Amino acid sequence: MPISNEMKRLKAKWLTNSGWPRRLDWISIDGLRGWDNQRFNLGFPIMAVVGENGAGKSTILQSAAAVYKTEEQQVRSRYATKAEYASDFFPDTAWEQINNATISYALREGDKTYQHSVRKPGGRWRGNPERRERAIEYIDLSRIVPVGARRGYARIAKPQFKETAAEAFDQYRLARFNQIMGRQYDLAKMASTDADPERSVSVLSENSMRYSGFHSGAGETTVAEFLQADLPKYGLILIDEIETSLHPRSQRRLIRDLAERCRERELQIILTTHSPYVLDELPLEARAHILKRADGSREIVYGVSPDFAMSKMDDQPHFECDLYVEDGRAGILLQEILTAHAPQLVQRCQITSYGASSVGRSLGMMASQKRWPRSTVVFLDADVEPAPGCVNLPGNSAPEIEVFTSIAKKGWQAIAARTGRPYADVADACTQAMILDDHHEWVRFAATKLLLGGDTLWQALCAEWATTCLPAQEATKIKLPIEDALINKNVVSGQSTGVLPG
């Protein structure tokens, strides 16, 4: 799905390199919860960290919060964590003692660059005085606790108490709330009673029906409380599991709202998520996946696709081998090659897109070092430089160029038969498509003219190409690594260990 206009505007401003005078460039974590000097890079003003439970997503948020001093004048949101030191996030307990831990970091303020660390070589954390000052908002999962279950709130729900103070959302903030929730509220405010002026509750009105946080949905309360605060300009905003309590449309709208706030106030935002809808709203450079290897170590991979991220957090044991490709188009091409030349492999393999080619190179390296818990083969597009542990798709060009060019030489009669469209229309649409400068647009352009779905036309093209244009020896180069991975798999504790020769 194309990124939204809000995200495009944010990306355009970020690329000018003219804003964000306070910027965290990276953090490196060592000796905490299994981390071993892995570095997390902030290559976009909003960074989404994804990974299975226990991968270390919250550790990234907490480490980022610990490298700054909180600004003294900052008015903190009531739902934001008040921790200011690494010791608040990583305490010694009856079950674990933190020793030889280091959080290294690099940040910028204007033209100046600072590189320091907070560390705990033994009894206490060191490096706190060297930290720079910045407004920090760490919004943790305490925000999703129902109002009635929060400490001290049951008492203020009693009807004998009266509202004594309220802060209504202005029209701008109310419009944002309506947009995110996809509904039209007449009123949204945070109100308190004479039972306890320090404990406020959201109060909403829809179609003249008024109800408080004690009776509203969890998503309504979460978003209302989130919008209550003005995110501090140039601040670092840390949000744990941002999608919690929100349905997919609201997740998308919240990310778009954050993109606007991020651009206007030049914020840096790090959020954790398990949601493909959140990832889909962000550009490739904003996505970071924490992969846990078979030996328990970690690797951070950037630019992953939502499909790849979800596949790594889900179990589908009926597949024997994972095949990774750059995008959906490459996936359809690979599937048609196997269908035409090795149909016995199709049902045994799961094809997943990974996103940027840099992700493919990282996955290939892991496959070559046998770090996957299941047999794995990683494919790169033909126009990408070969890389260790990876197999390039046939040809010398991008899949669209390779397929369209080869079929154009043979003629479009077979595509007309496969799609049920007149030959003249198919020839005209595909020939015109090939004139476009951007080959990524060829399929969409031709499919639109032929009143077909893009995947429908592309599958017909790939099936014909794999059957009549692809030399047998080139098909063998694709199927052999998969066969080898399946034959050479080693079963350990009931799981197969990925093997890719090379």
Per-residue pLDDT of the chain (502 residues; tens, 9 = 90+): 678 999 999 999 999 988 999 999 999 999 998 899 999 999 999 999 999 888 899 999 999 999 999 876 555 555 555 667 999 999 988 888 899 999 999 999 999 999 999 999 988 999 999 999 999 988 876 666 677 667 777 778 788 888 888 888 888 889 988 888 888 998 888 888 888 888 888 889 888 898 888 888 878 888 887 787 778 899 999 999 988 888 999 999 999 999 999 999 999 999 999 999 999 999 989 999 998 776 777 889 888 888 778 877 776 545 778 999 999 999 999 999 999 999 888 878 889 999 999 999 999 998 888 888 778 999 999 999 999 999 999 999 999 999 999 999 999 999 999 999 999 999 999 999 999 999 999 999 999 999 999 999 999 999 999 999 999 999 999 999 999 888 775 333 223 333 333 3
Q: Which two tokens stand for residue 188?
A: 């949204």
Integer Cα distance of 126 and 30 in angstroms:
15
Helix (H, G, I), strand (E, B) or coil at 439: helix
Angle, CA of 331, 377 and 407, to the nearest 5°: 35
Backbone angles phi, psi at 437, to 5 degrees: -65, -35
Please state whether 145 falls in left (phi above 0), alpha (psi between -120 and 50) or beta: beta
**Exposed, middle or buried by CB within 10 Å (0-12, 13-18, 19+), for 115?**
exposed
What single-letter amino acid sits at 32? Answer: L
CA max distance for the chain: 83
Quickly count: other Cβ atoms within 10 Å of residue 99's Cβ: 11
Q: Looking at the chain, which residues constitute the CATH 3.40.50.300 domain(s)?
A: 5-135+232-288
| Nearest of 97, 134, 132, 137 to residue 117 by alpha carbon | 132
Alpha helices in 57-207 (DSSP H): 57-66, 86-89, 153-156, 171-181
Give the type of residue at 199: R
Tokens 């496959």 appear where? 367
Q: In the numeric block, which tokens belong to residue 206?
A: 């829809």
Laid out side by side, the sheet with 349-353 consists of: 349-353, 321-325, 375-380, 390-392
Which CATH architecture fits 5-135+232-288?
Answer: 3-Layer(aba) Sandwich (3.40)
| Host H or E run for residue 181 | helix 171-181
| CA gap 454, 443 in Å, rounded | 6
User: Rounded distance, CA 207 to CA 471, Å?
Assistant: 66
Would you say 7 and 282 are in contact if contact means Cβ atoms under 8 Å apart? yes
